[in-house]
């Protein structure tokens, strides 16, 4: 399990619909040099008397009013607080893909409100994907945080890596309802599944799909096979489309 956030990260390209902190600044004061200070001052162009939303990761959020701002610091006053909004009861399992694609998957999954993200090495994935700097040097944190700030919520998905489908199926967190996407079998369309009233796991394969061996492992574990049709989609497209459809079933 990886930690999901660090204040040391410095470059974010998302729309900050909420500005997140691991811990709120002391004395309600944000100093220059912090990427959030630069965003408020140079991108949002907020001035004294303007308001915005801030929050603590996986905690409450707040509506604040800026009471002073200059080149060195800004101060704010909390006007209203909002309780933490729990993420959706969805665990998204994704077969490893190229890091550039995985960055988008991570950001969008958090934006949707997915609770857990599990990244799994597969028979058809390049081994090097799991050893990318995105994971070994903590770069993934930027994209998780970016997704949360885009969503306007404080919840950030947990992230866990598994070497293979075998280890994932042996060690993964149990979900009462488990779905695997597969466009090669006679699977029920995802949108035709009955309404979901419990924790759900959704597995989306890598660009080259699940191997026959892996599909048999899922089948032995009793996973429900579903599809988005017979077209071959990018993994990032399949992730967003399938999570969106799950929202309509929850």
pLDDT in tens, 160-209: 999 999 999 998 767 889 999 998 877 899 999 999 888 999 999 999 99
Q: How far apart are CA 117 and CA 109, in angstroms?
A: 8
Q: How confident is the model at residue 100 (pLDDT cuts 50, 70, 90)?
A: very high
CB atoms within 10 A of CB 122: 24
pTM of the model: 0.89
pLDDT in tens, 33-66: 898 999 999 999 999 999 999 999 999 999 999 9
Phi-psi region of 53 (alpha: psi -120 to 50; beta: other; left: phi over 0): beta
Ranking 8-17, 93-102, 144-153 by mean pLDDT, the lowest is 8-17
Q: How confident is the model at residue 6 (pLDDT cuts 50, 70, 90)?
A: very low
CA angle 133, 97, 204 (to 5 degrees): 135
**Taking a C-beta distance cutoff of 8 angstroms, is the pair 21, 55 a contact?**
yes
Domains of the chain in sequence order: 19-82 (2.40.240.20), 88-249 (3.40.1280.10)
Q: How confident is the model at residue 9 (pLDDT cuts 50, 70, 90)?
A: very low
Average pLDDT over residues 95-110: 96
Q: Is 230 exposed, middle or buried (0-12, 13-18, 19+ CB in 10 A)?
A: exposed
**Secondary structure letter of residue 187 according to DSSP:** P
Q: How far apart are CA 173 and CA 70, in angstroms?
A: 48
Q: How far apart are CA 19 and CA 21, in angstroms?
A: 7
Q: Is residue 244 helix, strand or coil?
A: helix
pLDDT at position 186: 78
């Amino acid at each position: 399990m990886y930690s999901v956030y660090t204040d040391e990260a410095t470059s974010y390209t998302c729309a900050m619909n909420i500005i997140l902190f691991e811990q709120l600044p002391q004395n309600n004061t944000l100093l220059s040099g912090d990427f959030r200070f630069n965003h408020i001052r140079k991108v949002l162009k907020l001035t004294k008397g303007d308001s915005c939303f801030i929050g603590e990761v996986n905690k409450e959020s707040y509506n604040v009013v800026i009471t002073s701002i200059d080149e060195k610091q800004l101060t704010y006053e909390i006007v209203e607080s909002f309780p933490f909004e729990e993420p959706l009861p969805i665990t998204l399992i994704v077969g490893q893909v190229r890091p550039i694609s995985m960055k988008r998957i991570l950001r969008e999954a958090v934006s949707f409100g997915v609770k857990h993200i599990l990244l799994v090495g597969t028979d058809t994935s390049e081994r090097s994907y799991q050893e990318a700097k995105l994971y070994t040097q903590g770069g993934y944190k930027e994209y998780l945080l970016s997704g949360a700030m885009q969503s306007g919520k404080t919840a950030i998905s947990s992230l866990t890596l598994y070497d293979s489908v075998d280890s994932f199926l042996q060690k993964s967190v149990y979900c009462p309802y488990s779905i695997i996407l597969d466009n090669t079998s006679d699977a029920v369309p995802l949108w035709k599944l009955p309404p979901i009233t419990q924790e759900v796991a959704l597995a989306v394969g890598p660009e080259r799909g699940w191997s026959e061996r892996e599909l048999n492992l899922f089948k032995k574990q009793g996973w429900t096979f579903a599809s988005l049709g017979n077209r071959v989609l990018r993994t990032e497209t399949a992730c967003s489309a399938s999570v969106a459809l799950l929202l309509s079933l929850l």
